Amino acid sequence: MTVTTQTPVVYVITDAPPRPKPGRGGGWRLWLRLALIAVLLLVTAADEWVTSVLGVRPLLRLTSEVRTWADTAPDEAQEVRR
C-alpha cells in the first residue's frame, strides 16, 4: 500500500492593486536630494569656518538682508508705478 501526501494549495485573495513599476527618473531624484543635502552641509560648514575666522556670520546676515529686501520690494514696486 502506497501513501501519497499532497501539499495543500492555499490561494490568498487580496484587494490590493499590484505594485507600480518604478518610474523613470527615480534614481536621479535620490541623487538630487543627496546633492542638495551635501551642499547644505558644505554651506553650513563654510559659514561656521568664516564665523570662527572673521568673527561674523556672513550667511545669516545675508539671509536677513534678503528677507528685508523681499519684504520691502513690493512696496517699492507700488511706489514706482504711482
Residue 43 predicted with pLDDT over 70? yes
Residue with cell 551635501: 38
What's the whole-number mean pLDDT along residues 13-34? 78
Share of the chain above pLDDT 70, in %: 63
Write the DSSP assignment of 6-75 as a string of letters: -PPP------PPPPPPPPTTHHHHHHHHHHHHHHHHHHHHHHHHHHHHHSS-HHHHHHHHHHHHHHHHHH
What's the whole-number mean pLDDT along residues 24-51? 84
Full-model pTM = 0.42
Q: What's the pLDDT at 35?
A: 93
What's the whole-number mean pLDDT along residues 5-16? 81
Domain map (residue ranges) of the chain: 31-81
